[in-house]
Structure 1
């Protein structure tokens, strides 16, 4: 039984670093810049009331959403999953380009998750979190309107096959991958320590498909439907319901005990780091059994000095040894867990 868990998750014990003064100053600066950006957005789009004034974001009518998406034109679909479809939308005057996520009424992400995401992204704003512009809840509709992220998700750039002539999906360089990981880490650190002195946020679904990229390849964490807010002095949240998250990224401690902690996010981020280094998904059933779970396989490669087996061929020989060594050390720290000691 223990060997099965080791195959799925690897050996883990998570270390959470404290927030340094530089990060606090950085977050204060970002907050001020976001206030200025929000004021500019409201100025250009008079019908959108300020989030800081309303506390919640703008509520769109279904007619506004239909106009922005040409009545949900399939040619405007830019993403799709178990939750529903994401459309590229345009609001006029402006024009203001947005991403519109239309949740299926019977999707896994139900009304509770819909409300959770609205409340989360209305309260917490950071340069490395996707901004929520508004929502629509007319009738049975559950629609979220986000800032448009033109370069797609981190998963797109790591795993999608590049079509000939498609320059938008060129392989990410080692420097670009580092920049994306640092940005995602800053967003996650803000959720865990920077939202307030009384509360922290556990995302609960950190993965490469939930890390979006803007035109400058700046990383922004999205999809907060499964997130939980917990008092900062509380060690963990006891979750009596089924464990939620994505297989391949689940922290084994959370999976086995149903006790959700910040370490659950850190473990998932460790899997993301392994994806970035290897260019392969968290779970790949087409591979041999010992390689199917990326976390366990990466852990073995790291410890046995077999980086050549795991590193993405697209960046092999291009990663600087100093940064590569530190990258591997951080990934190992994230993938540690108290359940399996070695």
Structure 2
């Protein structure tokens, strides 16, 4: 299944070894690690709002390809900020297909399967009924959207009871029309009210309790691109900001790579992938 994936927003499978007791899978090296590391839990530099939106759009494109790019949909089943990786240009690529599942037959609405995934991101309908659909990925992606907006973990036991669960907390503020009050403080002054409103509405729809009430990932993608348009061009180039961001991140890169470049990914266009980088890193991390 992995060898059939070819998309610029899916981490590429480079090759594998299955000889005697050696079982190795090699994936495209993602220089800037995971989206999660840039949102919380590390001292990595913060991403701008436009960068975060661009990453959401890229990840949505990757998921849309999984859901529609072949005869049968591929359901990722573990969409989370830790599985959205960033290349040298901070382009998002979906990774870690270890739990992926082929979607339902044409005459069926879901796949019945044991519940697997990450706590805090699981579709409640899948959790209670063990019925997996593409909309399960959409729910998880809605959680990621609130992570991106609020810059905090999905579950944080250190916070007051009403704030522990990000989804419950954010949806309450969304319902009260006060979403701007829980935006990541590092984004102060960057988020336009109309784009914030639309972004919050999309995330809330993704998080509907029943899958039938959620949009498709294609609809989510279209709306995210619209949000990016609402932000307009503020005259500052994202490309010009990246070098300083990468320079600040250089000291953290080596320590974070082991979880990034070897995450499960897809076979894609391998042009531009440096094999020397991959194997040099394997030596550094002493994989054995």
- TM-score, normalization: structure 1? 0.59
* Larger Rg, first or second structure (1 or 2): 1
1:186 aligns with 2:58: no
Aligned to 1:143: 24
Contact 2:104 2:110 in 1 (8 A): no
Task: Please tell me whether residue 223 in structure 1 is matched to residue 104 in structure 2.
Answer: no
Q: CA RMSD in A?
A: 1.8
Secondary structure in 2 aligned to 1:282?
coil
Q: Which runs of 5+ in 1 are unaligned?
A: 1-119, 163-168
Residues 128-166 of structure 1: per-residue CA shift (max 9 Å, x gap): 00000011223344321011100110001111332xxxx
Select 2:192's aligned residue among 314, 317, 320: 320
The match for 1:204 is 77
More helix by share: 2
* Higher relative contact order, chain-length normalized (CA < 8 Å, sep 6+): 2
Q: Is the 8 A contact 1:127 1:220 kept in 2?
A: yes
Distance, in Å, in 1 between the alignment partners of 2:38 and 2:25 is 24
Distance change (3 Å), C-alpha of 1:200 and 1:232: farther
Q: Do residues 214 (structure 1) and 214 (structure 2) align?
A: no
Partner of 2:172: 300
Does the 8 Å CA contact 1:204/1:264 hold for their aligned counterparts? yes
Is the Cα contact below 8 Å between 2:149 and 2:183 reproduced in 1? yes
More strand by share: 1
* Match of residue 49, structure 2, among 174, 180, 184: 174
Which residue does 1:283 correspond to in 2?
Answer: 155
Query: What are structure 2's unaligned runs of at least 5 residues?
Result: 214-288
Q: Indicate yes or no: 2:124 matched with 1:236.
A: no
C-alpha deviations, 1:9-36, integer Å up to 9, x for none? xxxxxxxxxxxxxxxxxxxxxxxxxxxx
| d(CA) in 2 for partners of 1:313, 1:144 | 39
The whole-number CA distance in structure 1 between the counterparts of 2:57 and 2:14 is 25
Q: 1:174 to 1:232 in 2, by over 3 A?
A: farther
Q: Deviations over 1:270-327 (max 9, x none)?
A: 0000000000011111111221111111100111122244210000221122221111
Per the TM alignment, residue 170 of structure 1 is displaced from its structure 2 partner at its CA by 1.8
1:156 aligns with 2:37: yes
Corresponding residue number in structure 2 for 1:258: 130
- Alignment length (residue pairs): 212
Q: Would the aligned equivalents of 1:200 and 1:232 in 2 still touch at CA under 8 Å?
A: no
